[in-house]
Amino acid sequence: MDIVERRGRVDDLVLTDRTDDFDFVRPDGGENVVDRLDFTALDGTTRTDTWLSNKEELRWSVFNSGELGVWDPDTDDDGLTDGQEVHGLTKVNSRSVVKTDESVSYGTDPADADTDGDGYWDGWIGVYGVGWSDNVVLYQEHLSTGDGIEGEEVVPEQIGTHHVSSPVPGADVDSDGKREHSNIHLGESYWNGKAGHSADPRDAGSEPDLDLAVEVDRYENASKLPIRLLDNVSRNYALYGLNVTFTESDILSKKQLENRLVSRPRDPNDGRPKFVELPIGYQESLEIEQTYHNDTSKFYMFVTTEGDQNPGDLPQSFNGTGGVASTNGNNFPSGFGWGVLIFTQDHDGTEPPNHTKSEHLHKTIMHEIGHVMGAGRKDDGALLNPFAEVYSGSDSSPRDPTKEYVGTSPYDDPRWSIMSSSWVDEATGPPMDGRYFAFSIEELLTIELKNIDTVNSNG
């Protein structure tokens, strides 16, 4: 506006009914005043937006660098509204009383997504390039109403990427010589206090620890393709600011796998020690991890040919699945102890036919490593994987009640994201185009990167 460009006095501007309005994010409906104001914020807490009139926004722009969008409640798209960054956060208690949340203090720059310039955005979850930020701020609220994210609630920008420069983390996934970051940014407000992380959006020296080292063993008869894909997987995770590194450790022969292992169980029929057998089931996976996992400061992944049926009801069969994770990162209980298994024979690229074996394996590794970080746990519920997994966008039992649509064709199918079941062609639709796979906002809402099974020093 002219008054801002001239850095004149706000009082010089004649405010009309239109310009004296204010940006205030609120949900639709509600039976009383508070119900029409409060919503589940991106951190899962019931909050309201914080009043910031257009006059205040104009005054802020006069006395600070940057300019606030008088029609956009979250100018910098970092997931915190302009009012929340200027005036702080509210919290709604059980009696529907709105109070200032004294436990959180911001004072961050509402016109700069990264106030302290350390490469991590200020808010909980922000989305780069959104045209209208209400749908991001209200994403948690929209998940719990109707049939998930649909219609006018969709945030199509979440599947894209944008170019970034240091210190923002990222990776070159399109071979253009420039680094990209997902349009979704997990900010310092998201990481601060989550599973032992510490991060302050106002302090460049306070950053989250987002490193995960993975030790990888492979059965000698299993395809080497998953090993060749690990650099691609690392770059894919780097799009979300996550530093996942892989170290290939042992190539295990059939003889090694068939030898008696350290904690060998005894056959209930004759009391004799059992052998590890192929294909790999639950008991064999435990034996392999306990024997061949060399560096327990790293997470453990084993690549083999195929999974086996498991006795009894628990855990689920490993047969016919592309991979399986022993935990969903919630540390309750700590997990089943085998880490992640990748089964190469279940990725033949023939059903459905419109993808390659490499693409399918890439997605499977992203999916299973995602579980151990906590991705998708909001759908899965409280039970430990792999028993209660709810695949993103699934209409089959157990059904996903919070589907996330991101627009029209080819995304008229909500199974486009990493934590969806097996393979869906939407996973390589534009703009991903097979170069990377995308997490949804809901899948990322439970990422924690600390409570990880098979890692001894996980904080």
Check: CATH 3.30.420 for 210-444? no
In this predicted structure, the answer to whether residue 169 has a pLDDT above a threshold of 80 is yes
In this predicted structure, the answer to whether residue 19 has a pLDDT above a threshold of 70 is no
User: Which sequence spans correspond to the domains of the chain?
Assistant: 1-209, 210-444
Which residues make Cβ contacts (< 8 Å) with residue 268, sequence separation at least 6?
none
Structure-block tokens of residue 38: 């409060």
H/E stretch holding 227: helix 225-228
In this predicted structure, the answer to whether residue 3 has a pLDDT above a threshold of 50 is no
Kindly indicate the confidence band of residue 214, based on its pLDDT and cuts at 50, 70 and 90.
very high
In this predicted structure, the answer to whether residue 185 has a pLDDT above a threshold of 70 is yes
The per-residue pLDDT for 139 is 96
Q: Return the C-alpha torsion angle 109, 115, 119, 122, nearest 10.
A: -60
Instruction: Measure the CA–CA gap between 305 and 302, rounded to whole angstroms.
Output: 10
In this predicted structure, the answer to whether residue 265 has a pLDDT above a threshold of 60 is no
Q: Out of 53-57, 348-352, 425-429, 437-441, give the one with best mean pLDDT.
A: 437-441
Kindly indicate the confidence band of residue 189, based on its pLDDT and cuts at 50, 70 and 90.
very high
Kindly indicate the confidence band of residue 6, based on its pLDDT and cuts at 50, 70 and 90.
very low
Tell me the residue ranges of DSSP E strands in 169-240. 180-182, 184-186, 211-219
Q: DSSP alpha helices (H): ranges in 67-199?
A: 82-87, 134-137, 139-143, 188-191
The per-residue pLDDT for 201 is 93
**Of 254, 226, 249, 252, the residue nearest 369 (C-alpha):** 226
- Does 23 or 268 have the greater pLDDT score? 23
- Does 342 or 282 have the greater pLDDT score? 342
pLDDT digits (tens, 9 = 90+) for 215-260: 999 999 999 999 999 999 999 999 999 999 999 999 999 888 876 4
User: What are the beta bridge partners of residue 218?
Assistant: 251, 303
Q: Measured at the alpha carbon of residue 33, what is the angle toward residues 31 and 36, in degrees to the nearest 5? A: 70
In this predicted structure, the answer to whether residue 184 has a pLDDT above a threshold of 50 is yes
User: What are the beta bridge partners of residue 343?
Assistant: 304
Kindly indicate the confidence band of residue 51, based on its pLDDT and cuts at 50, 70 and 90.
confident
User: What are the beta bridge partners of residue 180?
Assistant: 163, 171
Compute the average pLDDT of residues 273-299: 83
Whether residue 167 has a cis bond before it, omega within 30° of 0: yes
- Does 394 or 35 have the greater pLDDT score? 394
Rg (CA), the chain: 24
Paired sense of beta strands 125-127 and 184-186, if any: antiparallel
pLDDT digits (tens, 9 = 90+) for 72-85: 899 999 999 999 99
Compute the average pLDDT of residues 311-328: 81
The per-residue pLDDT for 309 is 81
Rounded to the nearest integer, the mean pLDDT of the chain is 85
**Of 111, 55, 101, 108, the residue nearest 86 (C-alpha):** 108
In this predicted structure, the answer to whether residue 377 has a pLDDT above a threshold of 70 is yes
The per-residue pLDDT for 17 is 44
In this predicted structure, the answer to whether residue 120 has a pLDDT above a threshold of 90 is yes
**Of 342, 340, 367, the residue nearest 423 (C-alpha):** 367
In this predicted structure, the answer to whether residue 350 has a pLDDT above a threshold of 60 is no
**pLDDT above 70 coverage of the chain, percent:** 85
Kindly indicate the confidence band of residue 263, based on its pLDDT and cuts at 50, 70 and 90.
very low
Compute the average pLDDT of residues 372-381: 88
Q: Are 293 and 215 in contact (CB under 8 A)?
A: yes
Compute the average pLDDT of residues 415-436: 90
The per-residue pLDDT for 457 is 56
In this predicted structure, the answer to whether residue 335 has a pLDDT above a threshold of 80 is no
In which residue are the tokens 């083999």 written?
A: 304
The per-residue pLDDT for 387 is 65
- Does 56 or 265 have the greater pLDDT score? 56
- Does 389 or 340 have the greater pLDDT score? 340
Kindly indicate the confidence band of residue 336, based on its pLDDT and cuts at 50, 70 and 90.
confident
**pLDDT above 90 coverage of the chain, percent:** 51
Least confident of 16-20, 126-130, 210-214: 16-20
The per-residue pLDDT for 396 is 86
Structure-block tokens of residue 84: 């929340």
